[in-house]
Amino acid sequence: MNVAFVGLGVMGYRMAGHLARAGHTVTVYNRTSTKAAAWCAEYGGTCASAPAQAATGAAVVFCCVGNDDDVRAVTVGPEGAFHGMAKGAILVDHTTASAGLARELDVRARAAGFGFLDAPVSGGQAGAIAGKLTVFVGGEEATFRVVEPVVRAYGHAVTRMGAAGSGQLTKMVNQILIAGLLEGLAEGLHFAVRAGLDAKKAAEVISKGAAQSWQLENRAATMIDGKFDFGFAVDWMRKDLAICLSEARRNEASLPVTALVDQLYQRVQARGGGRWDTSSLIDLLAKP
């Protein structure tokens, strides 16, 4: 299939690579063109000079960029993908963005004769490299059926959650869960260290019971060691939590601890930890 991929960041670079390896003909666009050139050298695709050019002739156009504004720029902006897409082509947005943007793009795509899916992912850089991402999809069932086998190139769990926007909403639920969970984990491990326990041993023993979590199993040791130079950056988590809190205001949902953890992440940023992994909440407790 002829496809386009716009945005070759930490996630997109690998996702586009999996599409090429699965046998699709991939045209890529990236704001920093040297990265696009490196991708084409590695995977043997074609580099385009603008999203519109990349989208020309593509049955499916994927994008994975930074935030709502970036998505608008590469889709409906000047030289955006919408200006190159043919009727019947589908735009799949892998960016974690607002549900409102997804609904807006869905309307504009329909008006232009395109399909649209919001499809944020979970699983991080490791998941992107391994091709084992979880993909939360919103949009038309028929559109989903066309795209789903293609997305399987990097998604080991690809689920349609409902109408446009519901992929984004599901990703927000994911981030809300992680925020509370990580602060609880940070406080528990901080307590363990202060109490003089062998905190790594405590984490291991506890992981067999009702306090078990992926974060406990995969982050306890690095949290205790104060290692945060990897993983999912606090800057990105704050972007996601801003979307969650804004959406919660709209839906009148109450998120007291999520709002507090967002503020704690602000303090991590203020001490220079914007690029640290989200598990760095423990640093605020260990080094007040």
Smaller CB separation from its own copies, 78 or 288: 288
Q: Which of residues 120-179 bind its own copies (CB under 8 A)?
A: 122-124, 127, 134, 136, 156-157, 159, 161-162, 166, 169-170, 172-179
Kind plus residue range of the DSSP H or E element containing 29: strand 25-29
Kindly state the smallest distance separating residue 29's Cβ from its own copies, in Å: 28
Smaller CB separation from its own copies, 79 or 104: 104
Retrieve residue 10's tokens: 């930490």
Q: Which of 42, 69, 187, 225 binds its own copies (CB under 8 A)?
A: 187
62: Cα separation from own chain's centroid: 13
Q: Does 221 bind its own copies (CB under 8 A)?
A: no
Question: Could you give the dihedral angle defined by the CA atoms of residues 225, 238, 162 and 253, in that order, rounded to the nearest 10 degrees?
Answer: 110
SS3 60: strand
- Rounded Cα distance, 220 and 224, in Å: 6
Q: Does 197 bind its own copies (CB under 8 A)?
A: yes
Q: Which of residues 66-125 bind its own copies (CB under 8 A)?
A: 99, 122-124
- Considering CB under 8 A, how many residues would be counted as binding its own copies? 74
Return the bridge partners of 138, or none. 118, 162
Q: Which of 202, 233, 241, 268 binds its own copies (CB under 8 A)?
A: 202
Kindly state the smallest distance separating residue 171's Cβ from its own copies, in Å: 9
* Burial classification of residue 4, based on how many CB atoms lie within 10 Å of its CB (0-12 exposed, 13-18 middle, 19 or more buried): buried
- Rounded Cα distance, 97 and 265, in Å: 19
Catalytic site residue from 171, 208, 239, 287: 171
- Rounded Cα distance, 204 and 144, in Å: 41
- How many residues belong to the chain? 288
Contact by Cβ (8 Å): 263, 169: no
Kindly state the smallest distance separating residue 135's Cβ from its own copies, in Å: 9
Q: How large is the greatest C-alpha to C-alpha distance in the chain, in angstroms? A: 65
Stretch 33-62: interaction string toward its own copies, x if CB under 8 A: ------------------------------
User: Of 42-50, 55-63, 68-76, 260-268, which segment contacts its own copies by CB under 8 A?
Assistant: 260-268
Kindly state the smallest distance separating residue 256's Cβ from its own copies, in Å: 7
**Residue 239 falls in the annotated catalytic set:** no
Q: Does 242 bind its own copies (CB under 8 A)?
A: no
Kindly state the smallest distance separating residue 250's Cβ from its own copies, in Å: 9
Q: Which residues form the catalytic set? A: 171
